[in-house]
Amino acid sequence: MEKQTTIKDIALALRLSTSTVSRALRDAPDVSLETRNAVKALAEELDYQPNKLALSLLKNQTNTIGVIVPNLDYIPATMVKGIDEVALEAGYTVMVCQSDESFGREILNTKRLLDSLVDGFIVSFSSETNVYDHIKKIQTKKIPLVLFDRVVDSFSVPKIRLDNAEGGRLATQHLIDQGYKRIAILAGPGNLNVSNDRKDGYLQVLKQNKIPIDKNLIINCDFNQDYAYIATKELLAMKKRPDAIFAISDRLALGAMLAIKEQGLKMPKDIGLCGFNNEPITQLLTPSISSIEMFAFEIGKATAKLFLEMLHSDADMSNKEIVIKPKLVVRESSKRLPGR
């Protein structure tokens, strides 16, 4: 392997001290312009690369942001793209770890990022996480931390999230406006705020429209297409089956669609379907699936901006929270009535 050029190599070639070479590379005013130019010219010729770890230790800064996400499916990956775009423009590198919805892996990722001396953390929790000692450790070390998407209200740190309850309200009201009266919900894991908030929006709208709440129509399941398929088959086997389904993620909506088609039912005539996330696949299917747009890329960008603002501000931002409003995108799977 080719030996990497060091400051010592440049110093020997120019018959200078290593400290003089180091100062010349930093444009120190106590080194003559002639010497600085000579050092820089030779450094470029020999392809000298500074030791970033040594510089990081010297400055106590690595210009690296540790990002932990529950998975790298479309929505989290799109958020990471938004984070990375803003970070790159600001001169920061993003180090991404996925927990794969595992609490243990989330703890391991936190430790590895701490060992990598990241300047701060941007975290979205796994579906298994309900103990937060690893996050408290970050706070104890006074390392900057921002929570996004899947947040926990008990932490006094900056947060950014979608208004998930509003998304649930938009989807449910749309289905009611289209004439559906018996609306089921594939509600996701019961221990996640995002799941419960979307379900709360659904329940609020049923109450507002004086539609009785049937607990048999509320199904909690993992964010897994197979679970949604099985759950939907059970819903459709009921004596009084639902005439619409609100799935709180597009992955769940896909599982529901498979079960609906398998039963020979037509959307939107026999049953309506609305998802959540507005992933690209929703507009490519037949019928195309109505969904809630959550602006994942914009959430990622806003998260990175919030992190950088906190990093470079002396103001107390521990209670700052940004809430992004969702938007309903109506497609064929739920639209019965023209103009609505």
Any idea of the CA torsion for 200, 202, 204, 210, to the nearest 10 degrees? -150
Q: Answer yes or no: do 183 and 275 share one domain.
A: yes
pLDDT score, position 2: 56
Across all residues in the chain, what is the average pLDDT? 92
Q: Quick one: tokens of 197? A: 């908030």
Q: Answer yes or no: do 129 and 170 share one domain.
A: no
Mean pLDDT score, 31-41: 91
Mean pLDDT score, 202-215: 97
Q: Answer yes or no: do 255 and 273 share one domain.
A: yes
Any idea of the CA torsion for 330, 333, 334, 336, to the nearest 10 degrees? 100
| Residue 281, domain CATH | 3.40.50.2300
Residue 155 placed within a domain: yes
| Cα 312 off chain centre by | 22
Q: Answer yes or no: do 26 and 15 share one domain.
A: yes
d(C-alpha 18, C-alpha 13), whole Å: 11
SS3 130: coil
Residue 178 placed within a domain: yes
Range of the domain at 43: 7-50
Q: Answer yes or no: do 73 and 112 share one domain.
A: yes
Q: Evaluate if residue 18 carries a pLDDT over 90.
A: no
Q: Answer yes or no: do 99 and 180 share one domain.
A: no
pLDDT score, position 60: 56
Residues 6+ apart with CB under 8 A from 210: none
Residues 6+ apart with CB under 8 A from 90: 304, 308
Q: Answer yes or no: do 157 and 301 share one domain.
A: yes
Phi, psi of 110 (to 5 degrees): -60, -45
Q: Evaluate if residue 57 carries a pLDDT over 50.
A: no
Residue 55 placed within a domain: no
Q: Evaluate if residue 337 carries a pLDDT over 80.
A: no
Residue 337 placed within a domain: no
Residue 331 placed within a domain: no
Q: Which residue has the higher pLDDT, 26 or 219?
A: 219
Tell the burial category of 255 from Cβ atoms under 10 Å away from its Cβ (0-12, 13-18, 19+).
Answer: buried
User: What single string gives the DSSP state of each residue in 36-84?
Assistant: HHHHHHHHHHTT----HHHHHHHHT---EEEEEES--SHHHHHHHHHHH
Strands 291-293 and 327-329: antiparallel
Q: Answer yes or no: do 126 and 142 share one domain.
A: yes
Q: Answer yes or no: do 131 and 33 share one domain.
A: no
- DSSP 8-state class, residue 277: B
Mean pLDDT score, 225-233: 96
Q: Which residue has the higher pLDDT, 217 or 8?
A: 217
- Tens digit of each residue's pLDDT (9 = 90 or more) over 68-80: 999 999 999 999 9
Lowest-confidence pick of 172-176, 191-195, 262-266: 191-195
- Tens digit of each residue's pLDDT (9 = 90 or more) over 143-158: 999 999 999 988 899 9
- Tens digit of each residue's pLDDT (9 = 90 or more) over 249-302: 999 999 999 999 999 999 999 999 999 999 999 999 999 999 999 999 999 999
Helical ranges in the chain per DSSP H: 7-14, 18-25, 33-45, 52-59, 74-89, 103-115, 133-140, 164-177, 193-208, 225-236, 250-262, 296-311
pLDDT score, position 244: 98
pLDDT score, position 33: 92
d(C-alpha 142, C-alpha 187), whole Å: 36
Residue 30 placed within a domain: yes
- Tens digit of each residue's pLDDT (9 = 90 or more) over 116-147: 889 999 999 999 999 999 999 999 999 999 99
- DSSP 8-state class, residue 7: H
Q: Answer yes or no: do 288 and 226 share one domain.
A: yes
Q: Answer yes or no: do 43 and 150 share one domain.
A: no
Grade residue 166 by pLDDT with cuts at 50, 70 and 90: very high
Cis peptide leading into residue 70 (ω within 30°):
no
Residue 340 placed within a domain: no
Q: Answer yes or no: do 203 and 105 share one domain.
A: no
Give the total number of structural domains in the chain.
3
Grade residue 54 by pLDDT with cuts at 50, 70 and 90: low
pLDDT score, position 108: 97
Residue 336 placed within a domain: no
